[in-house]
A and B are shown apart, each in its own frame.
Chain A
């Protein structure tokens, strides 16, 4: 079970801007095991969607990627386009937000599947491809009788189901979903998340779910990684992180969620730092309610705070080994290349 399918080490993504390099993702380590779902959360501007795009290899031109992303041992950073096309669909599926604009309005739904399948298995007969499509659609709750309809004949929720079915038709083992339900209503959202969850269990998929909704993560993910200013500040099992958050940022995020049992509104003061010129020391220090002197100078690294959870906060002993640890990691990466 604990076979790691996605292994991210020291992932960096930088954009060239007129005022210098902007490190939207700055040294992220993360593992995803087979059949495991990992939630990636944070405020907007924390780098979570950039990270999703990097994993999907959909970065805009001018973005630079460094570090290592291994999918089942295959390195994705600097991969050749031809190889990437094989991996997408066969090994890895991507689910976007905004399902309304993601299907070709002039193509029948089934033709999307036929094109995708033929790209990977050119010899597949059309009837066979259509049968595969029908099965994937049925799995996502789309009536097989409607496979030959056009996209506009489906609602937003149905289209998102079709998108997921299209992603999994080649039976990949890794799914990256970037805010898959943001545009949908709460009941449809719950339906789709249930389907994704069932799919993950049935097919033993690794799943990275990028979302700003902590409720979704709590209810569908095994582990959660909290991102702030381009870095992971806390990562661990959902049960631990949500009941006993260790990083002040996680604590603040959880407090700011408005929920049915909220009795008092709370939020984190200030806004995420400008990544062109991040604050020295801990990047969360300027907004932190438990800040002390060392936070302004020492940059904390992720340190185990329990058997399964790590946090990057100086409140926990060991997190101050920042400079050396980062240097060592960079060194190691350089030699591995």
Chain B
């Protein structure tokens, strides 16, 4: 027996307790950040740039009340302002904030027709944007992800019905759907006397994104379900719930962050669109889409600043979130860019024809094989 396996060594040699407490946790954290360390620098810069922009807006949103010099519906200096009812008591027109003032040191982004400070409203608008977007994407995620998981794993009739329902929602024009939901939910809440200004918009936007989470998670589940380790889990006697959560969920969870950031970017636009059309947040709450709508007439009249700055804010935040999403996608799913079976066949056939001298050299097509050979040498 030239190859005596090492199992003959005394088993007491390495007591488990030598592993420091928390070693498992540390290796798990290290594992979670592995894609980040392996990613190419380009993708990392994308994520960093996007995260910086998003973070600036987030800080603005969280500290909006202290950053913004004025309140959202404040049309006079702070000493005259009654925050309770949003009225300026005993102030004549001259002491009020000037109407449609151009950007100046006092009002960096200018003021509106209704004597509101644009700068303050842009900052306060970030708060609304984040609140609605966070609520709606989380709402979509918490419904879409479990549905996708079980639909993919259980399959059969349940899956078919779910796919049909989700496709129906997906096929419906999303903005129209959001308007319908926002409108009817808003009416209903009003009838019930519930004052929740953000909820209709958030639910409306969230409902639009449920099919996206569902589709991505379901498809990923379908492919993971065929992995031998899922069958291995069955052979170990694991229950269905245990398989879905411990063997499948933790392997499909990686597709969520990308979807989440990209959806958030899209949600910012949808919320703004709802506001612009008048189905979202109600006046006088500061909301970028609403403000653009209010500023439209101004810009025609030459007062460009009232609609311009909310527009810039929307563009910047969407850009930041999209950059982050694209970067994360490159980092988390590098395999998605590798060609599938079709690409392999195409490349293989080209390599074949090149090998008989019939076509251009296929060296670059064989690069993957070469890289695989290289792995073997490491």
B2 with A266: CB separation less than 8 A: yes
B374 and A17 contacting across the interface, CB-CB below 8 Å: yes
B358:A89 contact, CB within 8 angstroms: yes
User: Is the CB of B359 closer than 8 A to any CB of chain A?
Assistant: yes
Contact residues, B324-378 vs A (CB, 8 A): 341, 344-346, 348-349, 351-364, 366-371, 373-374, 376-378
Set of chain A residues within 8 Å of B346, measured between Cβ atoms: 104
Q: What residue of chain A has the Cβ atom nearest to residue B378's Cβ? A: A274
Interface contact B3-A266, CB-CB below 8 Å: yes
Whether A98 lies near B348 (C-beta < 8 A) is yes
CA distance A6 to B353 in the complex (A): 23
Please state if A267 and B3 are interface contacts (CB–CB under 8 Å). Answer: yes
The answer, yes or no, to whether B89 is at the interface (CB within 8 Å) is: no
Question: Given A85-B357, A116-B356, A116-B357: A58 and B374 within 8 A (CB)?
Answer: no
Say yes or no for B236: interface residue by CB 8 A criterion.
no
A268 CA to B353 CA in the complex, in Å?
40
B374 neighbours in A (Cβ, 8 Å): 15, 17, 22, 24, 60
Total A-B pairs in contact (CB under 8 Å)? 135
Q: Which residues of A contact B29 (CB under 8 A)?
A: none
Choose the segment among A162-170, A201-209, A306-314 that binds chain B (4+ C-beta atoms closer than 8 Å): A162-170
Residues of A within 8 A of B352 (CB): 96, 102-104, 112, 163, 166
Given that A45-B377, A61-B363 are known contacts, is A102 also in contact with B356, CB under 8 Å in the complex? no
Surface stretch bound by B, among A48-56, A180-188, A327-335: A48-56
Residues of chain A from 156 to 197 with CB closer than 8 A to chain B in the complex:
163, 166-167, 169-170
Q: How far is the CB of A149 from chain B (nearest CB, A)?
A: 16
Q: How far is the CA of A235 from the CA of B249 in the complex (A)?
A: 53
Residues of B with C-beta under 8 A to A323: none
Docked Cα-Cα span, A267 to B1, in Å, equals 9
Given A88-B354, A94-B355, A115-B353 in contact, is the A265-B377 Cβ separation under 8 Å? no
CA distance in complex: A275, B364 (Å): 24
Asked whether, in the complex, the Cβ of A102 is within 8 Å of the Cβ of B349, the reply is yes
Contact B356 A61 (CB under 8 A): no
- Using Cβ atoms and an 8 Å threshold, which residues of chain A touch B368? 60
Residue of A nearest to B343 (CB): A101
User: Which residue of A24, A116, A119, A276 is within 8 Å of B373 (Cβ)?
Assistant: A24
Which A residues between 253 and 276 are near B, CB-CB below 8 angstroms?
Answer: 255, 264-269, 272, 274-276
Residues of chain B within 8 A of A142, CB atoms compared:
none
In the complex, A101 Cα to B345 Cα: how many Å? Answer: 5
* Contact between chains at B2 and A267 (CB < 8 Å): yes
User: Is the Cβ of A84 less than 8 Å from the Cβ of B361?
Assistant: yes
For the complex, give the distance between the alpha carbons of A90 and B355 in Å: 10
B356: A residues at CB distance < 8 A: 88-89, 93-94, 116, 119, 166-167, 169-170
Residue A289 at the B interface, CB < 8 A? Answer: yes
A81-99 contact mask (Cβ, 8 Å, vs B): 1 or 0: 1001111111001101010
In the complex, chain A residues 1-57 whose Cβ is within 8 Å of any chain B Cβ:
15, 17, 22, 24, 44-45, 47, 49-50, 53, 56-57
How long is the Cα–Cα vector from A24 to B371 in the complex, in angstroms?
12
Contact, CB under 8 Å: A87 / B357 = yes
CB-based contact A89/B1 at 8 Å = no
How many Å lie between the Cα of A166 and that of B376 in the bound state? 30
Interchain CA distance A267-B377 in the complex, whole Å: 20
Known: A45-B376, A63-B370, A275-B377. A57 touches B363 (CB 8 A): yes
A215 at the interface (CB under 8 A from B): no
In the bound complex, do residue A61 and residue B1 qualify as a contact, i.e. CB atoms below 8 Å apart? Answer: no
Q: Which residues of B contact A288 (CB under 8 A)?
A: none
Shortest CB–CB separation between residue B44 and chain A, in angstroms?
16
CB pair B351–A86 under 8 Å, yes or no, is: no
Q: Contacts A88-B355, A89-B357, A90-B357 hold; do A103 and B2 have CB atoms under 8 A apart?
A: no
CA distance A61 to B348 in the complex (A): 17
Per the 8 Å Cβ criterion, residues 138-166 of A in contact with B are 163, 166
Q: In the complex, A105 Cα to B345 Cα: how many Å?
A: 8
In the assembled complex, the Cα of A24 lies from the Cα of B374 at a distance in Å of 8
Q: Which residue in chain B gives the minimum CB-CB distance to A23?
A: B377
Q: Which of B283-304 contact A (CB under 8 A)?
A: none
A167 B355 Cβ-Cβ under 8 A = yes
B353 touches A116 (CB 8 A): yes
Docked Cα-Cα span, A101 to B364, in Å, equals 17
Residues on A with C-beta less than 8 A from B344 are 101
| Interface check A198, CB cutoff 8 A | no
Could you tell me the distance between the alpha carbons of A167 and B355 in the complex, rounded to whole angstroms? 8
Contact with B along A215-241 (1 / 0, CB 8 A): 000000000000000000000000000
Give Cα A56–Cα B367 distance, bound, in whole angstroms: 13
**A326 close to chain B: CB less than 8 A:** no
Q: How far is the CB of B4 from chain A (nearest CB, A)?
A: 9
The answer to whether A120 has its CB under 8 Å from any CB of chain B is yes
For A166, the closest partner residue in chain B by CB is B356
Chain A residues with CB under 8 A of B377: 22, 24, 45, 47, 50, 272, 274-275
Q: Is the CB of A81 within 8 A of B3?
A: no
Residues in B with CB closer than 8 Å to A132 are none
A218 to B356 alpha-carbon distance, docked (Å):
28
Would A119 and B349 be within 8 Å (CB), given that A57-B363, A61-B364 are in contact? no
Question: Could you tell me if B355 and A115 are in contact, using CB atoms closer than 8 angstroms?
Answer: no
Q: How far is the CA of A153 from the CA of B334 in the complex (A)?
A: 34
Q: Which residues of A contact B (CB under 8 A)?
A: 15, 17, 22, 24, 44-45, 47, 49-50, 53, 56-61, 63, 81, 84-90, 93-94, 96, 98, 101-105, 107, 112, 115-116, 118-120, 163, 166-167, 169-170, 255, 264-269, 272, 274-276, 289
B residues with a Cβ closer than 8 A to A are: 1-3, 341, 344-346, 348-349, 351-364, 366-371, 373-374, 376-378
A sample of 9 more A-B contacts (CB under 8 A), given A58-B366, A266-B3, is A22-B374, A45-B377, A60-B371, A87-B357, A96-B355, A102-B348, A116-B356, A170-B357, A274-B378
Pairs A-B, 6 closest by C-beta atoms: A60-B370, A89-B357, A104-B349, A119-B358, A88-B357, A101-B348
Question: Can you give 24 A-B contacts (C-beta < 8 A)?
Answer: A15-B374, A49-B373, A53-B369, A58-B370, A59-B370, A60-B366, A60-B369, A85-B360, A89-B358, A93-B355, A93-B356, A94-B355, A102-B349, A103-B348, A112-B352, A115-B359, A116-B356, A116-B357, A116-B358, A163-B352, A167-B355, A170-B357, A268-B3, A274-B377
